[in-house]
């Protein structure tokens, strides 16, 4: 069973997780949106709106992740289409659409991984179980590299709608409010909170 086979129900049952709604970010002030990003997304929406999952990922999601590099004081690596083969016996294998790591950008995946993002064409719910399974894989990857503990964040997005979630111990918390691309400052604020949070 690779990551893509997991539903939220099956990943909860297999790994003894509990899922609830919650507030992951509190009252975050919106981040100013760079002019280049707004222009790029306007072009991207015209191209990707009715096309494929891959087009949405490239034209809507990737520019937003690039903007995240300007939100952190340190280094941020963005891995696209990276395999995260951690434990085949538990089904923790397969490709992640995007992984964000607080490291220098290098070809090889390096810890600490902080965010896993799954891009879907339409139905966010379909991607939740897959994203949680990928977060479990990322946590094991970090632990093997000596970065144990702390929370990991995931995102399932259509490019238009963004559902943030957090894995902390056996608890999965879905942010109770989805963000939408017309509120881009809030999406960037959520990413800044994740990427600049103290470890632990």
Q: Name the band, by pLDDT with cuts 50, 70 and 90, for residue 57.
A: confident
In this structure, are residues 194 and 74 in contact, taking their beta carbons and an 8 Å threshold?
no
d(Cα 123, Cα 102) in Å, to the nearest integer? 29
d(Cα 160, Cα 173) in Å, to the nearest integer? 21
| Position 120 pLDDT exceeds 90 | no
Q: Which H or E run includes 43?
A: helix 35-48
- State the average pLDDT over residues 36-52: 79
Q: Percent of the chain having pLDDT more than 90?
A: 72
d(Cα 86, Cα 99) in Å, to the nearest integer? 14
Q: What is the pTM of this model?
A: 0.94
pLDDT for the residue numbered 51? 65
In this structure, are residues 71 and 188 in contact, taking their beta carbons and an 8 Å threshold?
yes
| Position 152 pLDDT exceeds 50 | yes
d(Cα 161, Cα 61) in Å, to the nearest integer? 10
Selection from 181, 184, 130 nearest residue 155 by Cα: 130
158 phi/psi in degrees, rounded to 5? -95, 0
Q: Name the band, by pLDDT with cuts 50, 70 and 90, for residue 64.
A: very high
Q: Which two tokens stand for residue 76?
A: 């941020």
| Domain ranges, ordered by start, for the chain | 3-195
In this structure, are residues 179 and 161 in contact, taking their beta carbons and an 8 Å threshold?
yes
pLDDT for the residue numbered 80? 93
pLDDT for the residue numbered 200? 46
Taking the alpha carbons at both ends of the chain, their separation in whole angstroms is: 30
Q: In sequence order, which ranges of 49-166 are alpha helices (DSSP H)? A: 53-56, 62-68, 124-144
Mean pLDDT across the chain: 91
pLDDT for the residue numbered 199? 55
d(Cα 102, Cα 155) in Å, to the nearest integer? 17
Q: Percent of the chain having pLDDT more than 70?
A: 96
Helix (H, G, I), strand (E, B) or coil at 15: helix
- State the average pLDDT over residues 60-67: 93
pLDDT for the residue numbered 12? 98
In this structure, are residues 118 and 134 in contact, taking their beta carbons and an 8 Å threshold?
yes
pLDDT for the residue numbered 129? 97
| Position 114 pLDDT exceeds 70 | yes
């Amino acid at each position: 069973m690779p990551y893509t086979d997991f539903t939220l129900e099956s990943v909860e049952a297999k790994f003894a997780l509990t899922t609830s709604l919650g507030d992951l970010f509190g009252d975050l002030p919106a981040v100013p949106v760079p002019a280049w990003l707004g222009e790029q997304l306007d072009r991207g929406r015209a191209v990707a709106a009715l096309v494929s999952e891959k087009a949405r990922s490239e034209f809507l999601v990737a520019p937003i992740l690039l903007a995240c590099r300007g939100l952190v004081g340190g280094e941020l690596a963005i891995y696209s289409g990276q395999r995260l083969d951690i434990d085949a016996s538990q089904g923790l294998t397969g490709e992640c659409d995007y992984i964000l790591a607080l490291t220098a950008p290098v070809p090889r995946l390096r810890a600490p991984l902080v965010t896993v993002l799954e891009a879907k064409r339409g139905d966010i719910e379909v991607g939740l179980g897959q994203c949680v399974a990928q977060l479990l894989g990322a946590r094991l990857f970090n632990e093997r590299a000596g970065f144990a503990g702390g929370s990991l964040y995931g995102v399932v997005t259509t490019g238009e709608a963004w559902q943030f979630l957090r894995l902390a111990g056996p608890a999965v918390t879905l942010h109770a409010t989805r963000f939408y691309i017309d509120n881009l400052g809030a999406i960037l604020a959520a990413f800044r909170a994740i990427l600049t949070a103290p470890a632990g």
